[in-house]
Amino acid sequence: MKARKLLMIPGPIEFEPEVIQAMAIPTTSHVAPDFVESFGHALDMMKEVWLSPSGQPFVVAGSGTLAMDMAAANLVEPGDRVLVISTGYFGERYANLLARYTDQVDVLRASRGEQVSPEQIEAYLKEKDYKLMTFTHVDTSTAVLMDPRPIGELGKKYGVLTVLDGVCSVAGEEMKQDEWGIDVAFTASQKAIGVPPGLALLMASPRAMDVWKNRIKPVANYYADWENWLPIMEAYANRKPAYFGTPAVNLILALETSLRIILEEGMDQRFNRHRKIGRAFRAAMKAAGLDMIPASEDSAANTLSAPFYPEGIAAGDFLAAASAEGVILAGGLLADIKPRYFRVGHMGATTRNDLLATVGAIESALQKNGYDLKPGACLQSAQQAYDAS
């Protein structure tokens, strides 16, 4: 019997076997010619995955929070006005983080499960002179999806830098950084980009790089300073070795492998597969009669879902039952409703089979916890929705 369970949380996720194999290669020197080629190739491919031919990629050892910090540390100076558009936990984190760099942080909060409308954002931009605004493409605590397009347009119209937290979206949700005018878009390796945890991945537009070059004060954060990292990224992109901090060699080899697999699938196909899986998963939860945090289909992410438990089901019992069925799910994250909902990651390498195994495990876990459900009802809805779209 297979002992390994399916990991269906919103990161780390299920990884491609080839990516895991790249992690097991004997570690080479970070200046070895083969590694220099792999790193350079990974930087080139990032631009294709971000759809940002004009972007400047950064790959640094650390988690997604370091990518958030890197954007803030390099682009925000004391006294700069910034606007955080918050659709959940990670918006709040960004507001706390930005407060380390400036005392002028405004937060525009969505009601739980709702998006923030472009009109609401524009009202703020008309009111004050912001240098930068951040938003979470997919907030992992609520599964709310924001449309980056109108935000990119508003950023151009008002001369405000736009920073997209794509930790739960890049390489899963549609994102065309150059075309949509997004200045910074970042992610972490353990999410839809499909590499074990440990890399912060960021892409900066020429406009963002200009703002950084014209700073008045030096960047206060030594490790995150682009002054230290830009020469390294430029060197590897030109297939030359360079050193500032030792790169995470095996993770970068795994990144190269994963980016190659992503581009072989093709970005449009990949976005579409995520849409199909997201839609099918939501159809299954609807068939089970479960409500979801996102208020509508339009505001629901395709990389993860956040369903509420039915009345009377205890979070711990449900998650243990799903695990006994071979599928690991995540609990709630928003402090005030933590025990009332669960989260399911369905991004990256997730297949139709993974989706159906997950829906089947949820169905059993609900039944075992006393919820009255017609066996197979959710599975049927998932299959129908997947195959119809």
* Interface residues toward ligand PMP, by CB under 6 A: 11, 63-65, 90, 136, 139-140, 165, 167-168, 188
Burial of 237 (0-12, 13-18, 19+ CB in 10 A): middle
Length in residues, the chain: 389
Contacts of 239 (CB under 8 A, 6+ apart): 36, 37, 40
Q: What is the largest CA-CA distance in the chain?
A: 65
* Least separation in angstroms between CB 20 and ligand PMP: 19
* Least separation in angstroms between CB 99 and ligand PMP: 16
Nearer to ligand PMP (CB atom), residue 35 or residue 180: 180
Nearer to ligand PMP (CB atom), residue 97 or residue 287: 97
Nearer to ligand PMP (CB atom), residue 235 or residue 328: 328
Tell me the HSE value of 321 on the side-chain side, using a 13 A CA sphere. 19
* Least separation in angstroms between CB 62 and ligand PMP: 8
Contacts of 388 (CB under 8 A, 6+ apart): none
* Least separation in angstroms between CB 180 and ligand PMP: 18
Give the separation between CA 320 and CA 326, rounded to whole angstroms: 10
* Least separation in angstroms between CB 65 and ligand PMP: 3
Give the separation between CA 24 and CA 356, rounded to whole angstroms: 30
DSSP string, 323-358: HHTTEE-EE--SGGGGGGBEEEE--TT--HHHHHHH
Nearer to ligand PMP (CB atom), residue 165 or residue 325: 165
Nearer to ligand PMP (CB atom), residue 70 or residue 209: 70
The residue sitting closest to ligand PMP, measured at its beta carbon, is 64
Nearer to ligand PMP (CB atom), residue 90 or residue 386: 90
Tokens 């907030």 locate to 139
* Least separation in angstroms between CB 116 and ligand PMP: 15
Going by the DSSP 8-state scheme, the letter that residue 102 receives in this structure is: -
* Least separation in angstroms between CB 139 and ligand PMP: 6
Give the torsion sign (CA, 258, 259, 261, 266): positive
Nearer to ligand PMP (CB atom), residue 63 or residue 369: 63
CB 67 within 8 A of CB 207: no
* Least separation in angstroms between CB 101 and ligand PMP: 17
Closest CA to 348 of 146, 219, 194: 194
Give the separation between CA 59 and CA 245, rounded to whole angstroms: 11
Long-range contacts of 297-301 (CB under 8 A, 24+ apart): 298/115, 298/145, 299/113, 299/114, 299/115, 299/144, 299/145, 300/143, 300/144, 300/145, 301/138, 301/143, 301/144, 301/145, 301/168, 301/169, 301/173
Between the alpha carbon of residue 103 and those of residues 83, 221, 257, 370, the distances in Å are 12, 17, 42, 51
* Least separation in angstroms between CB 143 and ligand PMP: 10
Nearer to ligand PMP (CB atom), residue 139 or residue 183: 139
Burial of 1 (0-12, 13-18, 19+ CB in 10 A): exposed
Closest CA to 75 of 15, 163, 197, 143: 163
Nearer to ligand PMP (CB atom), residue 177 or residue 383: 177
Nearer to ligand PMP (CB atom), residue 254 or residue 321: 254
Q: Tell me if residue 166 falls in helix, strand or coil.
A: coil
* Least separation in angstroms between CB 368 and ligand PMP: 29
